Chains A and B, each alone.
Chain A
Amino acid sequence: MYDAIVVGGRCAGAATALLLARQGHRVLVVDRSSFPSDVISTHFLWPHGMSYLNRWGLLDQVTAVTPTHTVVDIVNDGIPLSGSVPVSLLREHFRDLHGDDSGVVQSYASVRRRVLDQILVEAAAKAGAEVRTHSTVRELIISDGRVVGVRGRASDGGEFEERARIVVGADGRNSFVARTLGLPRFDERPRCTFAYWSYWSGFDPGRGQIHRRGRLGCAVVPTNFGQNMVLVWGPSEWSREFRADVPGNVQRALDFVSPELGELVRTRGTREERIYGTLDQSGFLRQLHGPGWVLVGDAESAKDQCTAIGMTHAFRDAELASAALHRWLAGESSLDEAMAAYEGRRRSQNSAAYYDYVCTLSEMRPYRHDELQLFVALRGNQEETDRFIATHADIAPVSEFFQASNLFLLNDAAKESSAGYPVFEDFAATSRMYQQNLFA
């Protein structure tokens, strides 16, 4: 009999197991993968994602093999902004969400999942959790309407059966736990992006860059093994045409969105792996908890990759859920109270606002005139640029940046006008051009 069985052992699962085990609870983690291995995901970690790793004492292991930076470049239709997330906002974020602001760091990184997930799973084991990899949960044991354990196939092909006081579904977007319980999807947002990426050596982009033009985006971030992760994305309704020639269209998208980056990749880059991709990224939420079970990570809420936030959110869930479960397991509160606290954080106004922000962005409509002018107004206003970046990454609440009195002030304080940016020259014609499928 375990205190908790965690199904899935990556960002959400291994972290939840690690935190529970460190508090002395008996934990079993089961994952069908063997490690090290990848999972569909680019792997940008914003500073709060890095801060979680630091809070858990794992950051040094990651940075020993992964380049990190603090300043990020964001270029929208040729309007460049550079900034970093202020420590004060990071602290506020952790205080609000977790009640303590220890361990914040300002850096970001792109960590291959085969690197990161391995570190997490090893840390969970070291903390005392029992980790079974290459083992698949195939059945939930339900007694009196309550989940009380799991059955599955172990790595040696044999069957296993284990019981616990709670089963944690950390098994990703396609969660087995959620499917088996027949949980419906809420707040579905079917419009999303397609994303294709791979790993290139041969050039140094300096630091992370994120570009948008029209309905397409691209990013480059230095990652492990001396390589760069290069990613392109666009509206999923263009995906069929994109798929007709994946390598050609990756290059075409780069050339369109950022000719400089396109040139760098074409002339200097060597692709080291096949190209990966998916368009299955529609957003949704699931019920968070029920009798004998609770969900964390993508299992409870999946959303598009366009703000690169899923892994960090999985870490957040792990801290919130493990703190709640600990209070219950330690006899400090009832399970219902503990879960209500978790739910209060996860289904709050701020969460809803950020969810809307991501889902709207993932429709990849061309930026509107007012949005582009806002980017121009932000130029030269470092404090607000940094706050915008923090807002984009779900570190500062959407409502604090997107507040009328703030936006009007930003406008008034603008140092530049639209004059220097070609996108404004014939905006109507440019907007029409942006609606054309580049890959058709």
Chain B
Amino acid sequence: MTSTDLQQRDDGELIEAILDAARRGDVATMAREAAEVSEMTRNWATHIPWDDLAALDASGADGELARVVADLTEMWEPAHLRNPVDPDEEYALDKNAYDFYRPAGRDLLARTEDFYGWVQARRRTETWQYSRVLEAAPDSIAEITNDLGKRTRGINFNSQDYLSFNTHPAIREAAVRAMRDYGPHSAGSPMVLGNTRISDELEAALGELTGLEHVTLFSTGWSAGFGAIVGLVRQSDHVVIDRLAHSCLQQGARAATRNVVRYEHLNVEAVRQHLVDIRSHDTRNGILVVTDGLFSVDADWPDLVTLQRVCREHDATLLVDVAHDLGAMGPGGTGVLGMQGLLGEVDIVMGAFSKSFCSNGGFVASRSPALKQYVKMFSGSHFFSNALSPVQTAVVREAARIIRSPEGDELRARLFTAIHALRDELTGRGLTCMGEPSPIVPLLIGNEKLARTANRLLFDRGVLAFMVEFPVTPTGSSRFRLQVQAGHRPEEAREAARIIEGAIADSRAYLSSAFGSAAR
């Protein structure tokens, strides 16, 4: 390199000079300046006729000069200054909730403001999927209002009531009877005087459904999962947990010990390796292996037979969360456990009533009376929480009765007819349903912007679907979680699928996006 090379003007400056000359129609100067442009830039900006500028028609009559000016301007001026966008929408679509997880500053009140600003931008652009409210009982059709006060009515895949018990006469009758007999309030912890005779009956019914006779009730499913883990696991113990296990289990694990290993979703071989690894240096402490039965965002389930065997081989204890499958699938409503022939065989089972049993609440079950008493004493969320109300308890007991009756089989058959109708129609339209046929139909989208925009359209087009994104799913793998009910007619499901496909196609066009949603 010679020293003149070193002193040479940089390409930006040269392009500015060329643009200047172009405005005067001075093609000779354009060519002269262009001769100095670096070889690098010439080899890159191959669409500019660097060597032929002198030959341009200076009058601009053929439009060539204008084209060259436009191309050079694109290289010279920041692109976004030329394409203004709606800043609210940009902000709303670009960020993730996690961006606000660690706010700065010592004022705990003030530092929530940034997050709130983002929420407001999402609300204004109608891309906030949370906190909608019902205007009437959620059925296969629901009437709802979003948190801007905008109302809509649509085919409802946004409620978790897999067996459509919310409108079932016997369930409502059970609620009324309990209300008459015991009143609305349980008035105490289940450890004190919060339980009724109905609670005992419910524990027995759940014991029969899971094959594990020692059952403890919790006032929410979340507190059952959290409570089971913090009740049993101590600082020096270990938790080995499926990466995608439910939030209450993840948070329970973190609260109980620092020794948490997340394993690849469903990978039993990975669990085995982690157990070998832990046992190679720790033979004294406990290991709790934690998984969901039916996973609520991927709609798949693990090989529990092998998993339970692997746990026993390494003196680890298995906990399975059957919140989404118990009652809604499997022989006699026994869920994934029943499907794998494991009734009564798993160490610890926990579940929630909110999906198929028409109420808040949850439970922990095992074959050990000692475990039951221990969990009652040491799971803070059992001892120090008001018991399920008598009405809730009665509803769940009645639900459990129906689930185990022939009517339960009939409801599950109807549910699966609707599930197949929905999945088949979506798949037939080229969309990707994840997992296995189950009351949860996860429709894969991927990109958050696309999902948020499609969700906005669906609201207006009469389909109620919950869009899940980070932190429920990993970044970049958002999806619609469609929750099917026994009350859905197959034709409703197909109609919804058609509307969803249209909304996704329109959103893709709106964002002018070329991305699909294949995994890799």
Q: Which residues of A contact B (CB under 8 A)?
A: 32-33, 37-41, 96-97, 171-174, 176, 179, 184-188, 190-192, 194, 196, 236-237, 239, 243, 246, 271-280, 282, 285-288, 343-345, 347-356, 360, 368-370, 373-374, 397-400, 402-409, 412-413, 424, 427-428
Contacts and interface: CB of A to CB of B under 8 A. Distances in A.
Contacts of A405: 241, 243-245, 250, 262
Given A349-B476, A404-B471, A408-B254, A272 B79 contact: no
B98 A368 contact: no
9 contacts: A176-B46, A188-B512, A237-B81, A243-B12, A243-B16, A276-B41, A349-B477, A349-B519, A402-B474
Interface in B90-147: 94, 98-105
- In this complex, the interface size class of chain B, counting residues with CB under 8 Å from chain A, is 35 or more
Interface in B338-376: none
Contacts of A409: 254, 260, 262
B43 A40 contact: yes
Contacts, number: 221
A427 B105 contact: yes
A15 to B, nearest CB: 17
A399 B477 contact: yes
B258 interface: yes
Contacts of B446: 348-349, 352-353
Contacts of A408: 250, 254
Given A173-B44, A271-B6, A348-B519, A37 B39 contact: yes
B88 to A, nearest CB: 16
Given A97-B520, A398-B476, A399-B474, A369 B104 contact: yes
A370 B101 contact: yes
Given A277-B10, A347-B516, A174 B46 contact: yes
Q: Which one of A184, A402, A427 has the highest number of Cβ atoms from chain B below 10 Å of its Cβ?
A: A402
B103 A404 contact: no
Given A239-B78, A348-B518, A356-B447, A276 B10 contact: yes
Contacts of B45: 40, 174, 280
B475 interface: yes
B80 interface: yes
A437 to B, nearest CB: 13
Contact of B476 (A176, A188, A356): A356
Nearest to B71: A174
Nearest to B5: A274
A171 B47 CA distance: 10
B395 interface: no
B289 to A, nearest CB: 15
A187 B514 contact: yes
B520 A246 contact: no
Contacts of A349: 444, 446-447, 476-477, 515, 517-520
A33 B262 contact: no
B82 A190 contact: yes
B447 A176 contact: no
A246 B43 contact: no
Nearest to B10: A246
B300 interface: no
Contact of B80 (A38, A171, A191, A370): A191
B71 to A, nearest CB: 8
A352 B250 contact: no
A404 B470 contact: yes
A117 to B, nearest CB: 9
B40 interface: yes
Nearest to B476: A353
B511 interface: yes
B61 interface: no
A360 B79 CA distance: 15
A397 B519 CA distance: 10
Contacts of B444: 349
A171 B323 CA distance: 54
Contacts of B243: 403, 405-406
Nearest to B261: A409
Contact of A368 (B5, B39, B99, B262): B99
A188 B449 CA distance: 13
Contacts of B47: 174, 176, 179
Q: Which one of B80, B241, B472 has the highest number of Cβ atoms from chain A below 10 Å of its Cβ?
A: B80
B520 A38 contact: no
Nearest to B450: A352
B54 to A, nearest CB: 17
A343 B78 contact: no
